Amino acid sequence: FFRGLESAGLHLNRAQLQAVRHLNGPLLTLAGAGSGKTSVLVSRTGYLIACGNVDPASILLVTFSSKAAAEMKERILSLPGLNSSDASKVTARTFHSFFLYLLRTRGYRQKILSSSRHQQFIIKMILREMGLQDSYDAETLLSLWSAYRMNMVGLDELTVKTPAEVEQKQIFARYEAWKQEHEHMDFDDILVWSYQLLSTDDRLLSSLQRRFRYVMVDEFQDTGLLPYELLKRIVAQHRNLMVVGDDDQTIYSFNGARNEFILEFDQTFPGARIVTLDTNYRSLSSIVGLGNELIRFNQKRRPKQLRSTRKSSSVPLYVRPEDPDREAELLLAHITDQVKEHGRSFRDFAVLYRTGNDSRAFFEQLVMREIPFIHYEHTELFYEQWIVKPVMDHLRLSLHRRNFTAMEGLIHTLYINRDAGMSFIREKDAPRPKKGPLAHLLSYPGLKPYQIESIRARLKLIRTLHALAPVDAIKEIRLRFYNKFLEADERQEATLHKEFIQESLDELEASAKRFERVEDFVEFVDRLIVVHREMAAMKRDEDADAIKLMTIHKSKGLEFPSVCLIGASEGILPHSSALHAEKLDDHHPLASKEEKAAAALEEERRLAYVAVTRAKDELIISSPAYCRGRKTEVSRFFRDVFARDEQREESAAAIRQTAASSSKATLST
């Protein structure tokens, strides 16, 4: 078996072999990025089957992201020395898909609420019924509730003191009631119900225990309390649990992931074997070095230092472009130059960023230049997101009062049902088309005074917008219709999603700054939408030769020849929400304020670490000087290396030169 692996190019080192050859009992492999944790997991699967005489059907591998689960399965299928029928009997799934399957076999037929938008819609509906629509943000409430549930705090366990907490608990209770009444379940229900099922149905539990004699978990650092308890039940008898993970890569604590589990594994499973891997096979030594240097500042971790096998004199490149639009130009010029002149492929490049909003400029230029790319988050364009689109629709209406599509896009912001409202408008419009759709709404039956006031205000506003510079027009819209919601609310302690809303609107302003007239801006955006639709209509192939765009969160466990980390600036990474995290409610709902603040910043640092360690051969870290219209410092995580790196000027100049000599961006500004 090992000879097979070697002829496939995988010479396992001693520590790796120890872990792979481990047959029975608990095992923790705790190791840094790129040290072969996933490789060990996959190899051990092969070893158990080929050399340990283990029935492949009794092996269960679980992880959190579906991309990682799919990749694991694929790597098992291509293991040398394993026939494909054996390999396909191995169960490799995400936690959620595994337990959903279990629920389905036990007759749970509920529909899945698979889109967070659908969940938010339900919460918004409940808020409106309770007259609280201006007091809470639906997304914040959902993540808070999810964090409670992943920490095994249900409605019965949830103790409330302040009036706000009482209110929140009522909202959660109504949400649960809605799901029950409409026969739906959300992702958290999958785990919560499975736990209840395994706690009450002994026969089911013992049949699972007999079936899955070998359980392995990748990315164990992402495990929250509830999934961990589920695992513990399944392995309670045989204790054949192997977990691999890296405490430095815990980046899902807002979903309830808890670093302690990995740090205290041997207390939970006395006698557990611990194997540490300390050799990174993925990245050039300079990249490994940067990773080490970056992460050692965190307090809550097991100290470890990765060695590298790929000595190299090249260093990561540090660039500081003016703003995200320049950043996208610069890096794309570099990438296209590499592809055209140096025989590299688009698929070698991954562009990583902290939040979806940070990809706006990059996305835009890729679309306009028709460079092939795969975007893993939204298939949705920035300008079509739910926060941004109504603002654009105000602008569109200001240009053409009879733009019905735009009207349809903003009608919900008046708390009027879209379909009913639009058919009312159309009816009114036939005899009196001059009036315009928004004005027709004034006679919509059953309007509350605040709605009438809001329609009037919008009519007035829309008349003035087209004469303003686009950025000022957006400021006006925000001032009148968004700030009230974002600022007025005292009850809402959790500010995370408020920040994201502000951030989206700031980004929209930054984008609009490039245009002088509302008309030009709207035309640009609409053209972008058309090109984007055409590109999206082409079938997306995972293996296509295309640049990959994804959040750092999505990139975990993956590796790429070249990585561009964009937005390495204060307020972006670390994200501004972490800088005043003591206000956050949904990070660690059970921790103190100081703990939250420190933990949030450590988590941001781990994100930086994850991003850096995805790169094999080339790493470019870019820190725009202006982000969302504000001057920003280089990210504290990279400040030292930016300042110290002597080659910085040289390397930055080299990229800038490529940028200048390559074809200029075709954006008409």
Q: Which is nearer to ligand ATP, 26 or 34 (CB)?
A: 34
281 binds ligand ATP, rule: CB under 6 A: yes
3-class secondary structure for 439-475? HHHHHCCCCCHHHHHHHHHHHHHHHHHCCCCHHHHHH
Q: How far apart are CA 259 and CA 478, in angstroms?
A: 39
Q: Which is nearer to ligand ATP, 186 or 246 (CB)?
A: 246
280 binds Mg ion, rule: CB under 5 A: no
**38 is annotated as contributing to ligand binding:** yes
**33 is annotated as contributing to ligand binding:** yes
Among the listed residues 78, 76, 111, 112, the one whose alpha carbon sits nearest the alpha carbon of residue 91: 76
Closest distance to Mg ion from the beta carbon of 506 (Å) = 35
Q: Which residue of 37, 149, 320, 575 would you call a contact of ligand ATP, by CB under 6 A?
A: 37
**200 is annotated as contributing to ligand binding:** no
Q: Which residue of 15, 19, 28, 33 would you call a contact of ligand ATP, by CB under 6 A?
A: 33
| DSSP helix/strand/coil, 275 | strand
Closest distance to ligand ATP from the beta carbon of 567 (Å) = 21
Task: Tell me the C-alpha to C-alpha distance, in Å, between residue 14 and each of 20, 69, 241.
Answer: 10, 26, 21
Task: Tell me the C-alpha to C-alpha distance, in Å, between residue 353 and each of 255, 568, 597, 603, 610.
Answer: 19, 8, 22, 15, 11
39 binds ligand ATP, rule: CB under 6 A: yes
Closest distance to ligand ATP from the beta carbon of 559 (Å) = 6
Site string for ligand ATP, 555-584 (x = CB under 6 A): --x-x-------------------------
Q: Which residue of 2, 5, 15, 16 would you call a contact of ligand ATP, by CB under 6 A?
A: 16
Residues 176 and 155 sit within 8 Å (Cβ to Cβ): yes
**355 is annotated as contributing to ligand binding:** no
Number of residues that bind ligand ATP (CB under 6 A): 18
Task: Tell me the C-alpha to C-alpha distance, in Å, between residue 315 and each of 92, 301, 320.
Answer: 37, 27, 16
**Which residues in 170-209 contact Mg ion (CB under 5 A)?**
none
Q: Which residue of 256, 437, 557, 624 would you call a contact of Mg ion, by CB under 5 A?
A: 557
Q: What is the DSSP string of 312-352?
A: -S---EEE--SSHHHHHHHHHHHHHHHHHHS---GGGEEEE
622 binds Mg ion, rule: CB under 5 A: no
Among the listed residues 257, 354, 385, the one whose alpha carbon sits nearest the alpha carbon of residue 621: 354
Token pair in block for residue 72: 């694991």
Q: Which is nearer to ligand ATP, 34 or 321 (CB)?
A: 34
Q: Which is nearer to ligand ATP, 35 or 94 (CB)?
A: 35
Among Mg ion, ligand ATP, none, the one that 16 touches (CB under a kind-dependent 5 to 8 A) is: ligand ATP
Closest distance to ligand ATP from the beta carbon of 18 (Å) = 12
**Which residues in 317-356 contact ligand ATP (CB under 6 A)?**
none
12 binds ligand ATP, rule: CB under 6 A: yes
13 binds ligand ATP, rule: CB under 6 A: yes
Among ligand ATP, Mg ion, none, the one that 36 touches (CB under a kind-dependent 5 to 8 A) is: ligand ATP
Q: Which residue of 8, 11, 210, 237 would you call a contact of ligand ATP, by CB under 6 A?
A: 11
Dihedral angle sign, alpha carbons of residues 638, 641, 646, 651: negative
96 binds ligand ATP, rule: CB under 6 A: no
Which residues on adjacent β-strands are paired with residue 562?
349, 618
| DSSP helix/strand/coil, 587 | coil
Closest distance to Mg ion from the beta carbon of 72 (Å) = 9
What proportions of the chain, in percent to the nearest 5, are helix, strand and coil? 55, 10, 30
Q: Which stretch binds ligand ATP (CB under 6 A): 37-45, 340-348, 623-631, 652-660?
A: 37-45
Q: Which is nearer to ligand ATP, 168 or 551 (CB)?
A: 551
Q: Which is nearer to Mg ion, 137 or 218 (CB)?
A: 218
**36 is annotated as contributing to ligand binding:** yes
Dmax over Cα atoms in the chain, in whole Å? Answer: 83
| Chain center to CA of 332 | 23
Q: Which is nearer to ligand ATP, 144 or 610 (CB)?
A: 610
Residue nearest to ligand ATP (CB): 36
Q: How far apart are CA 248 and CA 221, in angstroms?
A: 8
Within 10 Å of residue 598's Cβ, how many Cβ atoms? 17
Q: How far apart are CA 380 and CA 160, in angstroms?
A: 38
Helix runs in 342-436, H state only: 360-369, 388-399, 404-410, 418-429
Q: Which is nearer to ligand ATP, 29 or 632 (CB)?
A: 29
282 binds ligand ATP, rule: CB under 6 A: yes
Site string for ligand ATP, 135-174 (x = CB under 6 A): ----------------------------------------
Q: Which residue of 35, 292, 298, 635 would you call a contact of ligand ATP, by CB under 6 A?
A: 35
Q: How far apart are CA 243 and CA 245, in angstroms?
A: 7
**173 is annotated as contributing to ligand binding:** no
220 binds ligand ATP, rule: CB under 6 A: no
Among Mg ion, ligand ATP, none, the one that 227 touches (CB under a kind-dependent 5 to 8 A) is: none
Token pair in block for residue 566: 């964009």
* Rg of the chain in Å (alpha carbons): 27
Token pair in block for residue 503: 């951030």
Closest distance to Mg ion from the beta carbon of 248 (Å) = 12
Closest distance to ligand ATP from the beta carbon of 222 (Å) = 11
Q: How far apart are CA 14 and CA 277, in angstroms?
A: 9
**Which residues in 541-560 contact ligand ATP (CB under 6 A)?**
557, 559
38 binds Mg ion, rule: CB under 5 A: yes
Residues 106 and 125 sit within 8 Å (Cβ to Cβ): no
Q: How far apart are CA 376 and CA 352, in angstroms?
A: 11
Residues 321 and 622 sit within 8 Å (Cβ to Cβ): yes
**Binding-site residues for ATP:** 31-38
Which parts of this chain interact with ligand ATP (CB under 6 A)? Answer: 10-13, 16, 31, 33-39, 246, 281-282, 557, 559
**Binding-site residues:** 31-38
Which parts of this chain interact with Mg ion (CB under 5 A)? Answer: 37-38, 557
